A = this chain, B = another copy of it.
Amino acid sequence: MNFIRKRMGSLEKLFNPSSVAVVGVSEDPTKLGSVLFSNIIDSGFKGKVYPVNPKHEKLFGVKAYKSVSAIKGKIDLVAIAVPAKFVIDVMKDAGRKRVRAAIVITAGFKEVGDDGIELEKQLLETAKRYKIRLLGPNCLGMINPMTDLNASFAASTPEKGKIGFLSQSGAFCTAILDMAVEKNLGFSYFVSLGNKADIDELDLLDMWYKDENVKVIGAYLEEISKGKDMVDLVRSNDNRKPLIMFKPGKSLSAMKAISSHTGSMAGSTETFQAAIKQNGIIESNEVNEMFYTMMGFAWSPLPKGPRVAVVTNAGGPGIIATDEIAEHGLEMAEISAKSKRAMRNFLPPTASVENPIDVIGDALAQRYRAPIDVLMQDENVDSILVILTPQLVTQIEETAKLIISSAKLYEKPIYAVFLGGKYAKTGLQRLYDNKIPAFLYIQDAVKVIEKMHTYQAYCKKAIAMDDKKKDALVKNRGKGKYQKELQKLVKNKVLNPSESLVQKMAEEVGIDLPEQIISNDLKEILHFAEDRYPVVIKATTESIAHKTDVKALYLNIKDEQELISNFEKLQATIAKVSKTKTAEILVQEQIEADESLLIGANRDGGADVYEDGSKGFGHLIVIGKGGIYTEVYKDFQTTLVPSTRTEFENALYSTKVSKILRGARGMEKLAVNKVLDALEAVQKLVLLYPEIESLDINPIMINKKRAVAVDIKIFLK
């Protein structure tokens, strides 16, 4: 299931043009077109740049052109900043000139509603007709620091670096850029996607995964329409470039806001979370967190494990760091005895060589050297966090220099926190100048270490995707035995298949069901129950439809005598309610449950999600605590279809209730393997029948031998 980009052409001319025409430059230097033109010139772009404006002969001291086609030389890229209603004409003109890439800065398309949607459709059609790759509309433009091209109206150009950054929000671009310029974070690409009419995150990811100038990818996305494609693309990323993603819209109110802001639905949070977790995507939820995470991955090697050593010149911040490290799933490194001795030789007696290592408030820069050198060589330490609080004698810049030289000597990540404001800044700036991840706040640093550790652990675990098996699963998609019956129901808008059809489908994929018969013959019922006591009897749904106030269920029937008496009572009840003398009764083995779970499946996107290029993420499988505590503890985990058994196992073991399955409080282990079988069976079911919109098994009863689905509900769409 390799990801194949069915696109019309490469992005070479967009990012690496030899000539650019800017349409919409005017005499007013504050207008978008003029800013764009100036930025291209000022950023030091080596190619040719032509201003286009029919009303002027000269602009900014150079010859201006009436149209793109009026320019004599070849034009690779056209940047358009004219009012929306003129954009398509400019595109056509550029198309006739065989321009291959366009940036449309202009707003007033999809985001303004119906008229805009229509205009954007026409814009895309024009682009396709003329084979022009289109960035935008309604975007800030893009910056390629490697070729010194700032084709955007952003106020600054970042340094050259190894980060590919894309954003659906121009404002987010601006905020990151502002921080990047201040802290010297460099980029290989910096792209504002705007409305994503043509070029979207998939194009850029595909390109950046292959581009050796990109080491780290950052993405701010309000909407991921082709979720399944994105997951496939990320999985195909063999050289494992970290992808840091910020996708707002977790809360209901934010989803509403997104839909009014971009005119598109945000998609389910759960599905996105599952996709993130399962595929090692690094999530970020704040502007500064996103920025610092990119900084960490770009500037520092990955820590080899969770063990952090803290070196501080003050006890308090050391303790705060210790708390943060514990809270973020990292560990305080156990310093080796050898390292402690080595440090002890260089530190005053009042210093502490236990982690957090306290070099004491009167430490000059040199006092940080021994601990850092020693910890760099201690195999019990995976990363070093150096904290500096400006005290009376503290040498802020000198300490920064010392950290810089250590970072260059060793291959172990080192992070710095310089607390405070005014004084700390001089040191921080020196660290940024030398590409050392450095922070004003302890929490910011620890969050970055956590993310880098989590990513490293994900890469190390390297969950075998076993794509062949998955392909096999997906190949049978839509080939269930009861496909026709299901399709008939969908056609007739019957969205709940009958109990018996659900049972047949469940049996087809091997879901363990309680043994049962439906009968009105007492003799037959007694025969069935013979070696299955205790049993349960109940009225079938049909016989007492909508009567919730009658006793229609008898549990824990231990012997023949009890069965006969309850059978008679139930018959009488049914007779009274439904006026049939000998109604059918369901007899079922009673499942003794040590624990009750729920398994669910929900589809995100259409039934065609398994086709390339289709919308949504496909089915999401949910596993967690079932029964009366379902809503109380909301203890669920999720994985995307298709998942391997290992991925199901990871999800199951991430639930809290799995402690019970593994034998908590001295109890016996329950049938974990049967739960995994059930998860695989449910996955098979939703793949065989993509018509299933959602499925709900609650409870699935777990004991030491079986995982039995007592109640399965299926909804079609």
> Which positions in A face B, CB cutoff 8 Å?
30, 32, 35, 107-108, 111-112, 153, 155-156, 167-172, 174-175, 177-183, 220, 222, 248-254, 257-258, 260-262, 285-288, 313-320, 322-327, 332, 350, 352, 354-356, 358, 361, 389-393, 419-424, 440-443, 628-629, 631-633, 635, 656-657, 659-660, 664-665, 667
Given A178-B422, A254-B320, A254-B323, 9 more A-B residue pairs with CB atoms under 8 Å apart are: A30-B393, A155-B392, A169-B317, A171-B317, A172-B316, A174-B391, A178-B423, A285-B323, A631-B665
Check if B261 sits within 8 Å of A392, measured CB to CB. Answer: no
Q: What residues of B have a CB within 8 angstroms of the CB of A288 in the complex?
A: 440-441, 443
Q: Distance in Å from the Cβ of A318 to the closest Cβ of chain B?
A: 6
What are the residues of chain B within 8 A of A352 when measuring CB–CB? 260-261
Name the CB-closest residue of B to A423: B178
Contact of A358 among B251, B261, B326 (CB under 8 A): B261
Q: Do A419 and B178 touch (CB < 8 A)?
A: yes
Name A254's contact: one of B168, B169, B319 (CB within 8 Å).
B319
Q: Which 7 A-B pairs have the closest CB atoms?
A: A171-B314, A169-B316, A178-B420, A251-B326, A182-B421, A171-B389, A261-B315
Whether A178 and B421, one on each chain, are in contact in the complex, defined by CB atoms closer than 8 angstroms, is yes
Contact of A316 among B248, B316, B443 (CB under 8 A): B248
Kindly report which residue of chain B lies nearest to residue A391, judged by CB atoms. Answer: B174
Q: Which residues of the partner chain B approach A181 to less than 8 Å between Cβ atoms?
A: 421-422
Are A442 and B287 interface neighbours, CB within 8 A?
A: yes
Which B residues touch A358, using CB under 8 A?
Answer: 261
Closest to A350 in B: B112
Cross-chain contact of A286 among B313, B320, B332, B629 (Cβ < 8 A)? B320
**Which residues of the other chain, B, contact A628 by a CB distance below 8 angstroms?**
660, 664-665, 667
Closest B residue by C-beta to A631: B664
CB-based contact B286/A419 at 8 Å:
no
What are 15 A-B contacts with C-beta separation under 8 Å? A171-B419, A178-B419, A179-B421, A222-B316, A251-B323, A251-B326, A254-B322, A257-B354, A261-B318, A261-B352, A287-B419, A288-B441, A629-B629, A632-B656, A633-B633
State the CA gap A539–B174 with chains docked (Å). Answer: 74
Given known contacts A248-B323, A659-B631, is B392 in contact with A153 (CB within 8 Å)? yes
How far is the CB of A38 from the nearest CB of chain B, in Å?
12
**A326 and chain B: residue at smallest CB distance:** B251
Q: Pick the contact of A183 from B35, B262, B325, B421 — CB < 8 Å?
A: B421
Residues of B within 8 A of A32 (CB): 392
- Number of this chain's copies in the assembly equals 2
CB-CB < 8 A to A285: which residues of B?
Answer: 320, 323, 443
Inter-chain contacts of A167 with B (CB < 8 A):
316
| Shortest Cβ gap from A134 to chain B (Å) | 21
Query: A175 touching B420 by the CB < 8 A rule?
Result: yes
CB distance from A392 to the nearest CB of B (A): 5
CB of B633 within 8 A of CB of A322, answer no
Inside 8 A of A421's CB, which chain B residues have their CB? 178-183
- Provided the pairs A181-B421, A261-B358 are in contact, do residues A319 and B155 lie with their beta carbons within 8 angstroms? no
- The reply to whether B287 and A320 contact each other, CB–CB distance below 8 Å, is yes
User: Residues of B contacting A320 with CB < 8 Å?
Assistant: 248, 254, 285-287
A253 near B325 with CB under 8 A, answer yes
Judge whether A420 and B174 touch: CB under 8 Å: yes
Closest to A262 in B: B315
Contact present for B390 and A155 (CB under 8 Å): yes
Contacts of A314 in B (CB 8 A): 169-172, 174
Contact residue among B172, B326, B332, B443 (Cβ-Cβ distance under 8 Å from A317)? B172
Contacting pair A323 B262 (CB below 8 A): no
Instruction: Report the nearest B residue to A318, measured CB to CB.
Output: B257
Distance in angstroms from A513 CB to nearest chain B CB is: 24
Of A153, A257, A390, chain B has the most CB atoms within 10 Å of the CB of A257
Task: List residues of chain B with CB within 8 A of the CB of A441.
Answer: 286-288
A660 neighbours in B (Cβ, 8 Å): 628-629, 632
Query: In the bound complex, how far is the Cα of B171 from the Cα of A107, in angstroms?
Result: 51
In the bound complex, residues from chain B placing their C-beta under 8 Å from that of A442 are: 286-287
User: Which residues of B have CB within 8 Å of A440?
Assistant: 288
| Complex CA–CA separation, A81 to B664 (angstroms) | 58
Given known contacts A251-B322, A322-B253, A326-B253, A286 and B443 CB-to-CB distance under 8 angstroms? yes
Cα(A179)–Cα(B193), bound, Å:
37
Chain B residues positioned under 8 Å from A633 (CB to CB): 633, 635, 656
Q: How far is the CA of A258 from the CA of B390 in the complex (A)?
A: 21
Centre residue among A111, A177, A222, A253 by max chain B CB count within 10 A = A253
**Smallest CB–CB gap between A364 and chain B, Å?**
11
Contact of A258 among B319, B326, B443, B657 (CB under 8 A): B319
* Nearest-Cβ distance from residue A546 to partner chain B, whole angstroms: 16
The interface residues of chain B lying within 8 Å CB-to-CB of A153 are: 392
Q: Kindly list chain B residues whose C-beta atoms are within 8 Å of the C-beta of A179.
A: 420-421
Complex Cα distance A659/B629, Å? 9
The answer for the CA separation of A317 and B332 in the assembled complex, in Å, is: 35
Which chain B positions have C-beta within 8 A of A323?
Answer: 248-251, 254, 285
Q: Which residue from chain B places its CB closest to the CB of A358 in the assembled complex?
A: B261
CB of A664 within 8 A of CB of B287, answer no
Of B169, B178, B319, the residue contacting A390 (CB under 8 A) is B178
Which residue of B is nearest A441, CB measured? B288
- Nearest B residue (CB) for A180: B421
Rounded to whole angstroms, the CA-CA distance of A517 and B351 in the bound complex is: 64
Partner of A175, one of B178, B332, B419, B665: B419
User: CA separation between A260 and B657, bound complex, in Å?
Assistant: 37
User: From residue A91, how far is it (CB to closest CB) to chain B in Å?
Assistant: 22
Alpha-carbon distance A108/B350, docked complex (angstroms) = 8
- Let me know if B361 and A182 touch, CB within 8 A: no
A350, B112: Cα distance in complex, Å = 6
